[in-house]
Amino acid sequence: MHDEIAWMPATEMATAVREKKLSPVEIAQTFLERIEAINPAINAYCLVTPEMALEQAREAEAAVTRGDDLGSLHGVPVSIKDLFDVPGLPTTKGSLVYKDNIATSWEYSAKALIDAGGVHLGKTNTPEFGFIAMTQNKLFGATTNPWDATRIAGGSSGGAASAVAAGLGPIALSSDGGGSIRIPASICGVFGLKPTYGRIPRKPGGWTTMTHRGPTTRTVADAALAMDVMAYQEPEDPFSVATYPGSFLGEVERGIKGLRVAWSKDFGFAPVEPEVAAACEAAAKRFEELGCVVEEANPGFDNQAPTFLRINTPADALWIGELTDEQRALMDDPAHFFYEHGKQQTGMDVARGNRDRMQLWHRMQEFHTKYDLLLSPVISCTAFPVGQEPKQVGGRDIGPAGWMPYTQPFNLTGQPAASVPCGFDSKGLPIGLHVIGRAYEDSLVLRACRAFEQIAPWAHRKPTLAR
């Protein structure tokens, strides 16, 4: 029974709790035991909270016994990325600078999950400040991949994706500032949604107009369930959009017949490994089976990394500059890069970045007058060994982070985008298909991913390390 619980979708788990077929305490104990057994091999959780989890589970069980009104996640375990506050727990941000930082308030989306009945298992690992797409830091070390524990889990929500892939919790609260939900979801073979910017409210800090909160799950329906809980308008967040009037979960089975879909293997400029391109192209063509018209088309922009850095690093330079010299000495190399790059940007550089961002927005608006969805790879390769970032992709030389050119553009535009598992390479490592929709059409992206999931299911595949 424990193995059945570990791989049960959150939607089914919540129903079983509500119908008194499963005990929230038994569920929590199952996951805590699995974390104890499996987490040392992958380091997905940097903090486990067994006392909190069991207390919440006992309260959930008592509520079921009393016949109380139950939230939609009642008794369902969740994890929270270590960039987000839970009162009384450390929020280290993966940094020695904040190793003793104890939170006094809630991240909005974290509180929403717990208020809906979620049981908090612990905090998942992240690179320092969430800056890079590999989850490794001086405080907790590297998070690795359940499909091959010598390889990266991606980042910055690598702990979240690794935990979900290993059956250490069905729902993980994640964030995406430049691909940080989608990249680890692709690398670990799970589902990850970056909703429209503002769809899920966020506390101040970080890349203010770039970073999205979102779910990492094994099934699309579980992500829709989490979205129904987390997606609301928060008056304290000036960028929070109106609460969605429908139900993401209620709409996820509607199908996508008649949609116009664009497929691009490289956006016209990106290097890509042949195995990744082939798997994603085969997946894109399967959308024809779902009643879509699929055409090859490029959206017509180039590498957006310079624009991304012009806008974001000055803000990093500001707050890092407010730290002491001793604190900055504790930081890892990526943080120093963002600090130095940001200090070098002029006001005109930032203005140029914002101008180019607006031009990208209008280019994508025009593109979506013809196409409902854009499909591409999520990243240019599969998981590489820890500490061995590739210098070549598809026979082309690349610079640092040159293997991840597909995701940043849609943080600049704020559009919803997801990584949906679509296959494996010859080494048995997962590959993700990038599904991008118009702004505010989160439901359509979920519907498209759910429709693909139905003809190409993946959730039954379990990493050897986690069986």
Domain count, the chain: 1
Q: For the segment 64-81, what is each residue's pLDDT rounded down to a tens digit?
A: 999 999 999 999 999 999
Q: Is the confidence at residue 445, as pLDDT, over 80?
A: yes
Whether 156 is a known active-site residue: answer yes
Q: Both tokens of residue 387?
A: 């500490």
pTM recorded for the entire structure: 0.98
Query: Is 95 noted as a catalytic residue in this protein?
Result: no
Q: Please, what is the average pLDDT of the chain?
A: 97
Residue 203: the pLDDT is 94
Distance CA 130, CA 138 (A): 13
* 285/263 Cα distance (integer angstroms): 8
Secondary structure class of 114 (helix, strand, coil): helix
pLDDT reported for residue 221: 98
pLDDT tens column, 346-402: 999 999 999 999 999 999 999 999 999 999 999 999 999 999 999 999 999 999 999
Cis ω on the peptide bond leading into residue 157 (within 30° of 0)?
no
Distance CA 17, CA 117 (A): 11
* pLDDT 10s digits, 98-112: 999 999 999 999 999
In whole angstroms, give the CA distance from residue 232 to residue 171: 18
pLDDT band at 284 (very low <50, low <70, confident <90, very high): very high
Q: Is 81 a catalytic residue?
A: yes
DSSP strands (E only) in 138-264: 141-142, 144-145, 148-152, 171-176, 191-194, 212-217, 260-263
Q: Which CATH number is 285's domain given?
A: 3.90.1300.10
On the question of pLDDT at 467 being above 90, the answer is no
Q: How far apart are CA 74 and CA 24, in angstroms?
A: 8
**What confidence score (pLDDT) does residue 2 get?**
78
Of the candidates 23, 72, 79, 81, the residue annotated as catalytic is 81
Query: pLDDT tens for residues 210-261?
Result: 999 999 999 999 999 999 999 999 999 999 999 999 999 999 999 999 999 9
- pLDDT the model gives residue 205: 86
pLDDT at 1 over 80: no
Domain that includes residue 217, residue range: 2-466
Catalytic residue among 175, 180, 186, 240: 180
